[in-house]
């Protein structure tokens, strides 16, 4: 994990050097990550169970080289069937438009999950590039959301999960970026979180649902999601749909290739 993070970090620094800082670096503001789904609730088995985070002030994810790693397992058994051990969201590599907030999603097929308790564990990693510390200090938060899978539960509802009576229960972390050091953010003391600003309205919910279908209908995912009905191909790549899972991975690969090239040149 640390090795992967180091490579990603190197790649991003190399990217800003090689591309003359292609990614616009946002210089200050409050960056916040909120876990919208899954929550401490009982869900019916889902072909596309949503894992959704909200990023507030999304361009700062790049400034802080932010990434989220996540795992999912049944009960106390980290290797249970259906477990995910290597979930990774390289937030800094997403298309970080300034639209507020940005929803970052992944989908897990829980149709075959046995009824019972499931643990969703996640860790946010960012760099604090304060002037008096070199190299930048890695900050890592962690938390878990324990949910129940049961046929008597309810389908996940992202609009309800962010409603005024539910938004306060989100797991949330906020950081105050006060300036930019050598290509990364300098953090002040952590401010209080404001998860209620991360509202999923019906339009955002249907856009996340469309992303779910696009994800399931990606040729690489088809065998995992045979039960999802896909639209007939229009010849358009599903990578055009929002924060597609393939775009960051291929971008990272390109960057790593570039770093290797730079190392060979150097």
Ligand X SMILES: *[C@@H]1O[C@H](CO)[C@@H](O)[C@H](O)[C@H]1NC(C)=O
Binding site residues, ligand X, CB under 6 A:
30, 40, 47, 77, 79-81, 95, 97, 109, 111-112, 128, 130, 132-133, 139, 141-143, 146, 171, 175-176, 178, 187-191, 226-227
Tell me how far, at minimum, the Cβ of 47 lies from ligand X, in Å: 6
Tell me how far, at minimum, the Cβ of 66 lies from ligand X, in Å: 13
Of the pair 8, 110, the CB lying nearest ligand X is at 110
Tell me how far, at minimum, the Cβ of 259 lies from ligand X, in Å: 21
Strand, helix or coil for residue 88: strand
Q: How many CB atoms lie within 10 A of CB 151?
A: 8
Q: Measure the CA–CA gap between 78 and 165, rounded to whole angstroms.
A: 32
Q: What residues does 124 pair with on adjacent strands? A: 68, 141
Tell me how far, at minimum, the Cβ of 179 lies from ligand X, in Å: 8
Between the CA atoms of 105, 110, 114 and 119, what dihedral angle is there, to the nearest 10 degrees? -10
Of the pair 178, 262, the CB lying nearest ligand X is at 178
Of the pair 138, 262, the CB lying nearest ligand X is at 138
Contact 228, 213 (CB under 8 A): yes
Tell me how far, at minimum, the Cβ of 220 lies from ligand X, in Å: 15
Of the pair 40, 260, the CB lying nearest ligand X is at 40
Within 8 A by CB and 6+ apart from 97, the residues are 58
Of the pair 135, 191, the CB lying nearest ligand X is at 191
Contact 68, 88 (CB under 8 A): yes
Give me the helices (H) in 107-245, please.
Answer: 158-161, 202-216
Of the pair 11, 48, the CB lying nearest ligand X is at 48
Tell me how far, at minimum, the Cβ of 227 lies from ligand X, in Å: 4
- For 198: left if phi > 0, alpha if psi spans -120 to 50, otherwise beta; the answer is beta
Helix axes 2-18, 246-265, angle to 10 degrees: 70
């Amino acid at each position: 994990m640390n090795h992967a993070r180091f490579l990603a970090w190197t790649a991003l620094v190399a990217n800003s050097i090689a591309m003359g800082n292609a990614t616009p670096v946002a210089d200050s503001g409050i960056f916040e990550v909120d876990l919208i789904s899954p929550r401490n609730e009982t869900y019916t088995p889902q072909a596309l169970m949503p894992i959704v985070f909200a990023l507030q002030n999304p361009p700062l994810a790049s400034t802080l080289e932010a990434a989220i790693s996540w795992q999912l397992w049944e009960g106390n058994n980290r290797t249970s069937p259906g477990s995910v051990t290597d979930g990774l969201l390289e937030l800094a590599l997403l298309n970080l438009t300034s639209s507020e907030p940005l929803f970052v999603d992944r989908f897990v097929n829980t149709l075959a999950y046995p009824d019972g308790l499931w643990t969703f564990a996640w860790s946010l990693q960012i760099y604090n590039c304060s002037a008096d510390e070199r190299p930048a200090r890695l900050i890592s938060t962690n938390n878990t959301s324990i949910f129940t899978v049961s046929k008597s539960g309810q389908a996940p509802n992202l609009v309800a999960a962010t409603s005024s009576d539910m938004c306060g229960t989100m797991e949330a972390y906020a950081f105050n970026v006060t300036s930019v050091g050598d290509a990364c953010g300098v953090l002040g003391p952590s401010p209080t979180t404001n998860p209620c600003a991360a509202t999923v309205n019906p339009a955002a919910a249907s856009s996340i649902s469309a992303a779910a279908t696009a994800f399931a209908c990606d040729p690489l995912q088809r065998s995992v999601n045979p039960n999802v009905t896909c639209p007939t191909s229009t010849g358009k790549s599903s990578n055009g749909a929002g924060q597609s899972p393939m775009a960051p991975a291929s971008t990272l690969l390109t960057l790593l290739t570039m770093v290797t090239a730079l190392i060979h040149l150097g």
